[in-house]
Amino acid sequence: MTQIAPLPFYTRAQQAIADPNLQTALDRATGRMVVARKQAIAAIADGEAARDHARAVRAHTIANLGQYLDQFVEQATAAGVHVHFAADADAATQLVVDIARRHEVRRIVKGKSMVSEEIELNHALEGAGMRVVETDLGEYVIQLDKDVPSHIIAPIIHKTKEQVAETFRRELHATDADVADIAQMTAFARGRLRAEFLAADMGISGVNFGVAESGSLCLVENEGNGRLSTTMPRLHVALMGIERLVPTAADLAVALRVLARSGTGQALTVYTNVITGPRRPGDPDGPSEVHVVLVDNGRSQMLRTELEEILYCIRCGACLNVCPVYQEIGGHAYGSVYQGPVGAVYTPGAFGMGPWADLPQASSLCGACKEACPVRIDIPRMLLALRARAEEGGHTPRWVGRGLRAFRLVATRPRLFRWASTVALRLSRWLGPTGFDRLPGPLAGWTRYRHFPPMARETFTARRRRLDRRQERP
Amino acid sequence: MSDSSRVPAGRPTRVQLLVTCLVDHFAPDTAEAVVRVLQQQGLEVVVPPDQTCCGQPACNAGARPDAIAMAKHTIALLERDPAPIVVPSGSCTDMLVHQAPALLADDPAWAARASAVAARTYEFTQLLVDVLGVTSVPCDRTGTLAYHACCHGLRGVGIDAQPRQLLAHVPGATVLPLPEDDTCCGFGGLFAVKLPDISGAMLDRKCRQITASGADTIVVTDVSCAMHMQGGLHRQGRPVRVQHIAEILGGMA
């Protein structure tokens, strides 16, 4: 269904921490984006109110999703769009392959779409003998490298510019002049991609927001590749998660107001495309046929559950940038198309606990994600809910559950707790009067990086009891 | 996220101290300092008996039945006395104020009891500044201090201005800025032992920022974070102390 890297989460995280190139790239990029977001939100006088407003729009939409989906389908159809519904990834890829086959498509250009990553669309199209070219610069590099994105809005955040230069040399025979600096590399890729746009007979895009009242598709982007992908080829197929709706154009404005500010720190992206149906008579350009594939793929199973709030997400990536765990391990360690805090909830929520039970554990619950989220999604609350599911489903190491059960038995019996406390203090003072540099069992993880302090000679409460007894005596 | 709406009508004359199990077993001096500072403000401080653990570690691990059992025990022992509750920990305050009522939401009787306790529970600096209106505490601490905002206190309970104000008024000390002072140190409870390499990488970054600050003491509102940062600094041979703010205000060396 979605990519799962061959190694378990924790091993991938360890490798990421030990990778100096990745660490350099992450420090540069996340640091820059964190500052940019704060400044962009602070720059609008009602920044906090704008977030509340955007949250209210998303909450209302998700609470009434069925109604808005019906309206969207009706309006999009009326505007001349062919609307399809796919229950899962296989159904979605099959729909797109069938549309392409029906139109005898050979060459496809593709704008950035997380849903297409989620359903592994390129793989299916290439299997059907079609040429697919990613046209978002980051995604283009990913495709050349046979890599996968590591950030929902900055797919090559894990690469340094030196690594990209190397890819262009190796895969596209770029000269030293072509890769002299970032501007040169961009111009070089632009030249290559222009030829692809001109030759393509089908364009694929994602959708940032579907507008229910008009059946419009809104796509935001900075490179113009999204506009070219959706206007140059004769056929446009858009992939859209079923939750990505807003009721009205006014609501779209509310969401756009916080989206780019939270993602890249821009007031607005360079291009904001709103597409309502195919080319009309008299239009100078545009596709003659537009399809929208509404993809469920695990989304609806989160509705009316304690994970429903994750569907409010507008995919800005702010929670990834501020997450101290993401900053250390990057996106690939998560193994999912959706990384970082939002991915740690979304991935097991939509795709099941099975292979993803580790992700909700990958958080210190510091709350930076919730603080940064433009629609104030309570990610820590849902991480806890998923940890409870993991605990109940036997997806966590046994010592954790057993240890906590034993601790609870003691902690709910004050006399036993006092006795155990005295024993623990004496034992630890005897074994490690100055603390511990190395401990066995689960605590070995602690002492790998930290000294473990000595316990107190006497607890505060024991001392109090002792002094009280002395006072009571005549 | 400020909890100023929870401030009681009159100035309390008496508070009960929820010591927290970590302070009790690893940092009893912190609890002594809390008592000293509050008594200095004219408060009577009582220590309710039978305190164990509020259940926060179990809650964070997703062990809901265990967390509920420990939360109920703690709520019951705090109900015996109507006095406001003071907690020298942002994490345990967050547990009592937000997590316990959420865990018990499906049990109306217990949910009401949890909410009633939550409504009169305050983190230590919150009690001083928001409830008592105290922003300056007489103490004779000298040296260079830097403040690290512990996550659950900052984002769970809304503690930030309170400790910073109190530190700014320590006459003999200089307060220095700590880069990334609101970034997690990597503790996260069981996170530190379940995923030690990730936690260790976060800690390493924190230790570098602490060194860069040039402060001789890092001041926090949670001894758990203090243990974590102190443990890392000790391992790396960096001579910086991490102390709970009560020890600074209580004038402890």
Q: Indicate the domain borders of chain B.
A: 4-130, 136-249
Q: Is the pLDDT of residue A137 over 80?
A: yes
pLDDT at residue B5 in the model: 58
Mean pLDDT of A289-295: 98
Q: Quote the minimal CA–CA distance from B84 to chain A in Å.
A: 19
- Whole-number mean pLDDT of chain B? 95
- Measured between CB atoms, does B48 come within 8 Å of chain A? no
Strand partners, B217: B145, B241
Express each pLDDT in A238-289 by its tens digit. 999 999 999 999 999 999 999 999 999 999 999 999 999 999 999 999 999 9
Cα A173 from Cα A405, distance rounded (Å): 61
Q: Is the pLDDT of residue B245 over 60?
A: yes
Q: Is the pLDDT of residue A3 over 80?
A: no
Name the strands in the sheet holding A245-246, side by side, starting at the edge strand that comes first in the sequence: A245-246, A209-211, A216-221, A271-275
Nearest Cα residue in chain A from B233: A450
CATH number of B136-249: 3.40.50
pLDDT at residue B3 in the model: 53
Express each pLDDT in B32-50 by its tens digit. 999 999 999 999 999 999 9
Question: Residue A396 — very low, low, confident or very high, per pLDDT cuts 50/70/90?
Answer: confident
Question: Residue B242 — very low, low, confident or very high, per pLDDT cuts 50/70/90?
Answer: very high
Instruction: Kindly report the number of other CB atoms within 10 A of residue B165's CB atom.
Output: 15
Express each pLDDT in A421-454 by its tens digit. 999 999 999 999 999 999 998 899 999 999 999 9
Structure tokens at B243: 């102390």
- The secondary structure of residue A223, as a DSSP letter, is S
Tell me whether domains B4-130 and B136-249 share a fold.
yes
Mean pLDDT of B53-63: 96
Tell me, what's the ipTM?
Answer: 0.95
Best mutation target, B29, B185, B193, B205, to test chain A (most A CBs within 10 A): B193
Question: Residue B10 — very low, low, confident or very high, per pLDDT cuts 50/70/90?
Answer: confident
According to CATH, the topology of domain A9-301 is Rossmann fold (3.40.50)
- Max Cα–Cα distance, chain A, nearest Å: 104
Q: Which of residues 92-121 of B touch A (CB under 8 A)?
A: 102
pLDDT at residue B1 in the model: 41
- Whole-number mean pLDDT of chain A? 95
Q: Where are the domains of chain A?
A: 9-301, 398-472
pLDDT at residue A474 in the model: 61
Residue B180: CB partners within 8 Å, gap ≥ 6?
Answer: B205, B206, B209
Share of chain A above pLDDT 70, in %: 99
Residue A377: CB partners within 8 Å, gap ≥ 6?
Answer: A309, A310, A312, A313, A319, A342, A369, A370
Beta-carbon separation of A446 and B191 below 8 A:
no
Residue A39: CB partners within 8 Å, gap ≥ 6?
Answer: A265
According to CATH, the topology of domain B4-130 is Rossmann fold (3.40.50)
Express each pLDDT in A445-456 by its tens digit. 999 999 999 999
Nearest Cα residue in chain A from B193: A445
Closest partner CB to A391 (pick from B57, B61, B189): B61
Q: Quote the minimal CA–CA distance from B29 to chain A in Å.
A: 8
Nearest Cα residue in chain B from A417: B52
Express each pLDDT in B135-151 by its tens digit. 999 998 999 999 999 99
Nearest Cα residue in chain B from A422: B25
Mean pLDDT of B153-178: 96
Strands (E), B6-148: 14-17, 44-46, 85-87, 121-123, 143-147
Q: Is the pLDDT of residue B2 over 50?
A: no
Cα B94 from Cα B76, distance rounded (Å): 17
